[in-house]
Structure 1
Amino acid sequence: MDNVENLFNPSLAAALMKLDPEDGEQIMEYFKTHALLTREKALLQASVREQKKLLVENAKLKKDIEQLRIQLQEKQRRRTAKALLSSAVPHPNISPAPSTPVDASASTVGVTAAAPANLPPPCSSCHERRDKQTRRRKGERKARPTSDALSLELDPRVDVSRLDLRIGRILSVRRHPLAESLSILEVDVGETAPRTVVSKLGRKTHLQELQGSLAVLLINVKTCKLKGVVSQARLLCCANSDDSVEVLAPPTGAAPGDRVTFLNYPGDPDRELQAKQRVWETLQPDMQVDCKGVANYKGCGFEVKGKGLCRAPTLTNCIIR
């Protein structure tokens, strides 16, 4: 802004006219136009940065709303199951007889004579039947909640198809200000806004080389905060015993948003992996890079349909984390 005002200074215009009387006005107009265009470009860049910031915040809000909706549905389902269980258990209608004090002296002298003659003798079969019914009710009350709890809480299918693995393009990467071993990445996974990912890449990794490259990300993990920065996905890397870390490389021709699938494990991924089920922790030990550098799960390759397999850039016979 100050540069534009200086260009309109009469003394500067007079000096230009004195130096070059023929083209002084044209030079002055050129400087004015250039300064105005520079200012408009700066304003436009500031507007674009603000728009990107709003898009990221909007995506985070959508993610929080979706998590709250899932939690609400889960609580409502448990409440309904609990109400059904309570209504299905029968309640005994037998009311206990009122207890009356018994005189010790009367109990020792002529008890059978004092009893009314018209009462029938106690029936042992009635007591046995009543005991069986009581035991049956107790057994149902213990067994039924267990089966319902298993049907609500556990999923028998625990395989790699539950992971939502997507191809993403790393837009920017920088060191975490509070931890040298962590890095903060902005990754485009084919959504309306990029995702923020906090990953442990190691000190030997050249961050500048990662900018603009493709990577494999697990996007249906629960959002968590690492050293004050919210991470919205997990970056898949391969590492050997020497602590050499490389980002898993997608096949040539892959694009942000492409899903990584497994031929022997078809199925749709979870909307969000529940932390208490520890799905990733269960599957991760079976993920590795083979002797040919191909990423696989139990011998089945990480595949982008129609485009090829995911590989490690240089490492072989190492784990995927």
Structure 2
Amino acid sequence: MILLHTLNIFRNLKYLRMTGKAAIERIKENAEVAKNTINELKNEMNVLNNEYNTILAQQLREENAQLLAAVEAAKNKLVQLELQKGIKQTPLPNQTILQSSVIEPPAPALSTATHTTPDSSAKPKKDKKPKPPKEKEAAAVELPVNIGRLDLRIGKVEAVQRHPDADALYVLKIDCGEGKPRTVCSGLVKYVPIDELRDRTVIVLCNLKPVKMRGITSEAMVMCASSDAGVEVLTPPSDSLPGDLVHCEGYTRQPDSIMNPKKKIFETVAPDLHTNNELQACYKNVPFNVAGKGFCTAKSLRNVPVK
């Protein structure tokens, strides 16, 4: 009996050792799963945080641009009112002012009614030659801030790949009719499959200041219709060619070579870029067009911002 009891004890100990090892393995597996889950949650939180910061920054830029435009309009109105009342404007350094239409009367000539007998001992005074009037420098004319300041052209995507250091970015090579393609970084990974961009004809904003995006310099921007429902790359007329210019009727096309970021030109124009009910990309309800070829459109997004 004692021997049998001893054997049972050994069997139970062996079973407990085997059960304990299995439990420890399960605990290790559960810990690894928990670790992976935490890492995935951290990554998702980082992505959401970046998207929120991007949206918030865009909203602030648009609000600042609207405020700057309102201040500029009020200042111009005040200057016009002062000019109408004959108040002379004093130019500030590096600033252009409106010239007053009021002509100031010439200064009255000095009276020569009083004569004196010249003193023979006095040295004759030399006649002073009148100084020629200084030529006024022509004031630089600031072009109006509207769609005409944007260099919008047709481009053809020659190559596209994922950015090696940014999961949300594509790196595109786009032929804009300039001899060599432009490199463009575009945050379309979440919205447009890569196959839909290959060999596609697009509308490109070409006079933004080049900027590095995770080590790669982006030289332009692909124009898209954008809303909470999604993002769609704008489509030019079917027979458009790389380098074709995009116009907006009623606005003279006179783009800056590179827009000065300090002047907030694009930020001022952007709030008035949108699609209409016919899916046409517009500026203040005037559709974009390629001369003789037609309008630029979105696929399905009506009455949403273009950016």
TM bucket normalised to smaller:
0.5 to 0.7
By how many angstroms is 1:241 displaced? 1.4
Could you say which residue in structure 2 is the equivalent of 1:157?
A: 144
**CA separation of 1:153/1:278 partners in 2, compared to 1, >3 Å: closer, same or farther?**
farther
Change (3 A) 1:292 1:144: closer
Residue of structure 2 equivalent to 1:184: 171
- What corresponds to 2:261 in structure 1? 275
Q: Indicate the structure with greater helix content.
A: 1
Q: Partner residue of 1:173?
A: 160
For 2:301 and 2:91, locate their aligned partners in 1 and report how far apart those are by CA, in whole Å. 52
In the TM superposition, 1:198-209 aligns within 5 A as: 198-209=185-196
SS state of the match for residue 296, structure 1?
Answer: strand
Q: Which amino acid aligns with 2:264?
A: R
Q: What is the Cα deviation at residue 149 of structure 1?
A: 2.1
**Cα 1:176–1:153 shift into 2, 3 Å:** farther
* Cα shift at 1:271: 1.5
- Aligned residue type for 2:153: R
Contact 1:295 1:310 in 2 (8 A): yes
- Which stretches of structure 1, 4 residues or longer, exceed 4 Å deviation after superposition? 151-154
How does the TM-score come out when normalised to structure 2?
Answer: 0.55
Deviations 1:168-216 (A, max 9, x none): 0001111112221111100000111100001111413111121101000
Instruction: Return the alpha-carbon distance in structure 1 between the equivalents of residues 144 and 303 of structure 2.
Output: 28
Deviation of residue 150 (structure 1)?
3.3
Equivalent residue letter for 1:240: S
Q: 2:231 aligns with which of 245, 258, 264?
A: 245
The secondary structure found in structure 2 opposite 1:167 is strand
Question: Shift in Å at residue 292 of structure 1?
Answer: 1.3
Counterpart Cα distance in 2 of 1:156 and 1:189: 25
1:145 aligns with 2:92: yes
Tell me what 1:295 maps to. 281
Alignment of 1:1-321 (within 5 A): 143-146=90-93, 148-150=94-96, 155-242=142-229, 244-321=230-307
The answer (yes or no) to whether the contact 2:169–2:188 under 8 Å persists in 1 is yes
Query: How many Å separate the matches in 1 of 2:175 and 2:240?
Result: 13
Q: Distance in 1 between matches of 2:278 and 2:173?
A: 30
Cα distance, 1:153 vs structure 2: 8.3
CA distance in 2, matches of 1:159, 1:235: 19
For the 8 Å contact 2:247–2:253, the answer to whether it is kept is no
SS in 1 for 2:266: helix
Cα distance change of structure 1 residues 156 and 193 upon mapping to structure 2, 3 Å threshold: closer
Q: Which runs of 5+ in 1 are unaligned?
A: 1-139
Counterpart Cα distance in 1 of 2:262 and 2:140: 10
* Deviation by residue 1:35-61 (Cα, 9 ceiling, x = unmatched): xxxxxxxxxxxxxxxxxxxxxxxxxxx
After superposition, give the CA deviation of every residue in 1:106-153 in whole Å (9 maximum; x if it has no partner): xxxxxxxxxxxxxxxxxxxxxxxxxxxxxxxxxx9x93334x423678
Q: Is the 8 A contact 2:156 2:199 kept in 1?
A: yes
Output the CA distance in 2 between the equivalents of 1:267 and 1:168.
18
Distance 2:253 2:176 in 1: 20
CA distance in 1, matches of 2:213, 2:140: 28
Q: Contact 1:180 / 1:203 at 8 angstroms: preserved in 2?
A: no
Find the residue that maps to 1:283 and give its secondary structure. helix
Identity level (%): 36
Instruction: Rate the CA distance shift 1:319–1:270 in 2: closer, same or farther, 3 A.
Output: same
SS, match of residue 306 in structure 1: coil
**1:156 Cα deviation after fit:** 4.8
What's the CA shift for 1:222?
1.1
Amino acid at match of 2:199: G
Where in structure 2 are there 5+ consecutive unaligned residues?
1-87, 98-138
Give the deviation of 1:278 after TM superposition: 0.8
Structure 2: how far apart are the matches of 1:224 and 1:200?
14
Structure 1's 206 and 274: CA in aligned 2 closer, same or farther, altered over 3 A? same
